[in-house]
Amino acid sequence: MNAAQLPPVAPEVTATLVEDLSPRLRKRLDAAVTKLGARPTHRDGDTVTIAVDDETELRLHAPGGTVATVDAITCGCLLAPACVHRAAAACAAPTADPAPDEERDPDAETAADPADQLTAEPPGPAAESASGPVPGPAAESTPDSPPGAASPSERAAADALWSAGAAVLEAGVDGAGAVTQSVLLRAAHTARLRNLPRPAGAALSVVTLLRAARSGDPSYRTADLVTALAELLGTAHRVGAAAGAELAAVRGRARRPYSPEGSLRLYGLFTEPVVTDSGHGGVRTWVAAPDGRLCTVGDVAPGGAGRALGVADRAVRLGDSALTHRELGRAGLAVSGATVSPDGRLGAGKGVKAVTARGAAWTEPPLAALWETPPSEQAARALRSTSRYADTGGGGSDLLFLEVELLGAVREPDGVCLLALCGGGVPVRLAVADDDPALAHRDNLMLLATAPGTRLRIIGRLVPAPHPRLTLLACSHPAGEGTVDLGLDRLRRADLPDPAAPVHLAPAQPGDWGADSPLHLLERRIDQTVPAGRAALGMLGDVTAEAARLRRAGLPTAAGLLTTLCASAARRDRDHFGRLLPADTDGFATNWLTAARYSAAVAESLCAAAWEPRR
């Protein structure tokens, strides 16, 4: 059994089942989750059955695809309902998205897309500077609520999120088992009820990533958990200090409103598969208006990568169009009565009418204009969209449209990516958008690595890094005819200029792999906290030499943050009798968050500079 075979379970259900366990059974919960994961499962309609042993079965009833109540998980063992099996099943299953992420038109017929569930809107301008001190939990703010400030219940919910996130940092992945995760789930559920969907979504992301890390999921990346934890702690502490528009941005939105746009003429760009950690799958098709504005049409629901491949050939649910998603990515639409969300999603209410129209090649107007903006300007726009310190831009603003010459494969610590040269002689790394073997991303990228010298138009999503980096989503066909959706279409060797060529390793480029900046010395310590916790970081030894190197490179703030972070990790005070006092988890979390936010801000600056043309 794996988590994808189980229906998603609502956060409050998992939290309640774990809270109801006796202290003795809580100690056995992680072992029970592992043991249950090795047992066979069977699905019959809305019910999934797990064979606990040869005589005992456990059932999860999920009407509508989600286990929404505690009573929907039943066990046939003698200790039920007070057994450990029910809680273990809930902890092994994916966490359900509490609500659709977008607010559809009243008569909308398309399924909600949970791919960005509860990520809501990024914050407005940060209340604190990246290099300045980050306050502790929101409870430290005044208990009175001035106009436009958070209510006491919101601050209490934020406190609970902060404490749960700090506990994860204290324990690390290795110590953040099912009980720690259930505390996060309870805090997330409470925060959502208190109108804090954005920090609640961050907490759910942390739980999902913790489970992926502890299960050995090959798609897990420590950097993802670092980002999620920084988002959780950052939004939790800002609830008490923010007011007005900033507080609204910190709260986020559980649903995305749609506004009327009248008539739109749209041109298809490409279609990308969407596979989420919660077991959802589908596609998102990108289209462009004549003025260059990007919009999307999506279809995502429970089903994983298999559903993503199937939905690509289903008709788009928009008006009277009979186009499939693959076809729309290369054709056009004329839409009347259109409605669009702030992030560019097209609504599909009954009042929306859409008919098939002629598309445009990437080299023809109006699409050709997307490739005419200099790469550095495109990267700056994408950074404004992806930064945690800036308001969100328009839909699709994290996409880059580049003309490149392929150089070949380049090896990295996490695998192999494709190196290419874009405008101004800037070397850019093209990484795989999704490593799921059912999708075509990896195979296509490795095939393109056998064709150095090939010139292509590409579409990729910016990855903030000290070097130019994109996840590759689509490209013009190497043979010169049409386009390739790199997650869905599979290139063949016959499509390449030299079908027999082996994978070509590209030569190292000047400034390769962020070698010009020692910021990684701070980033490494930030990352090392997550797998093993505060205590492990405190035992990693003296960092005086690393701090001196940062100062020599003109990064004195980074040096100070590194020294403070490691010192707080190692610090354990004693009482008058020499007994160790409890660790200052809040203080360490504050230092870690300050370092993580500073590191992210500097990395964004380095990323913007890396995209400038080479002289």
Tens-digit pLDDT profile for residues 525-584? 999 999 999 998 988 888 999 999 999 999 999 999 999 999 999 887 887 887 888 888
- Going by pLDDT thresholds of 50, 70 and 90, the confidence category of residue 98 is low
Output the pLDDT for position 18: 96
- Going by pLDDT thresholds of 50, 70 and 90, the confidence category of residue 322 is confident
Q: d(Cα 72, Cα 229) in Å, to the nearest integer? A: 31
Q: What is the CATH number of domain 259-367?
A: 2.40.50
Q: What is the pLDDT of residues 200-252, one digit of tens each?
A: 999 999 999 999 999 888 878 898 899 999 999 999 999 988 888 889 889 98
Burial 476-508 (b: 16+ CB within 10 A, else e): bebeeeebbbbbbbebeeebbeeeeeeebebee
Output the pLDDT for position 374: 93
**303 phi-psi bin (left φ>0, alpha ψ -120 to 50, beta other):** left
The domain locations on the chain are 3-9+22-89, 114-251, 259-367, 373-513, 514-610
φ/ψ of residue 142, rounded to 5: -60, 140
Output the pLDDT for position 516: 63
Q: d(Cα 226, Cα 596) in Å, to the nearest integer? A: 8
Question: What type of residue sits at position 235?
Answer: T
**pLDDT above 90: residue 145:** no
Output the pLDDT for position 304: 83
**pLDDT above 90: residue 173:** yes
Higher per-residue pLDDT: 166 or 390: 166
- Going by pLDDT thresholds of 50, 70 and 90, the confidence category of residue 477 is very high
Output the pLDDT for position 479: 87
Output the pLDDT for position 67: 94
Residue 280: closest CA among 259, 300, 253: 300
The per-residue DSSP string of 394-419 comes to: STTTTEEEEEEEEEEEEEETTEEEEE
pTM above 0.85, yes or no: no
| Kind and range of the H or E run holding 86 | helix 84-92
**pLDDT above 60: residue 105:** no
Q: What is the pLDDT of residues 500-528, one digit of tens each?
A: 788 888 776 655 444 467 998 999 999 99
Q: d(Cα 38, Cα 272) in Å, to the nearest integer? A: 33
- Going by pLDDT thresholds of 50, 70 and 90, the confidence category of residue 268 is very high
**Cβ neighbours for 73, distance < 8 A, ≥ 6 positions apart:** 9, 13, 17, 58, 59, 60, 61, 67, 86, 89, 90
What percentage of the chain exceeds 90 in pLDDT?
59
Higher per-residue pLDDT: 613 or 3: 613
Output the pLDDT for position 454: 93
User: Average pLDDT, whole number, for the chain?
Assistant: 85
Q: What is the pLDDT of residues 30-59, one digit of tens each?
A: 999 999 988 999 999 899 999 999 889 999
Output the pLDDT for position 101: 41
**pLDDT above 70: residue 133:** no
Task: List residues bridging with 281 in a β-sheet.
Answer: 275, 301
Mean pLDDT check: name the lowest of 66-80, 105-119, 139-153. Answer: 105-119
Output the pLDDT for position 377: 93
Q: What is the pLDDT of residues 387-436, one digit of tens each?
A: 654 444 444 578 999 999 999 999 888 788 999 999 878 999 999 999 88
Output the pLDDT for position 115: 38
For residues 470 and 400, the answer to whether their CB atoms sit within 8 Å is yes
Strand 415-422 and strand 353-357: pairing? unpaired
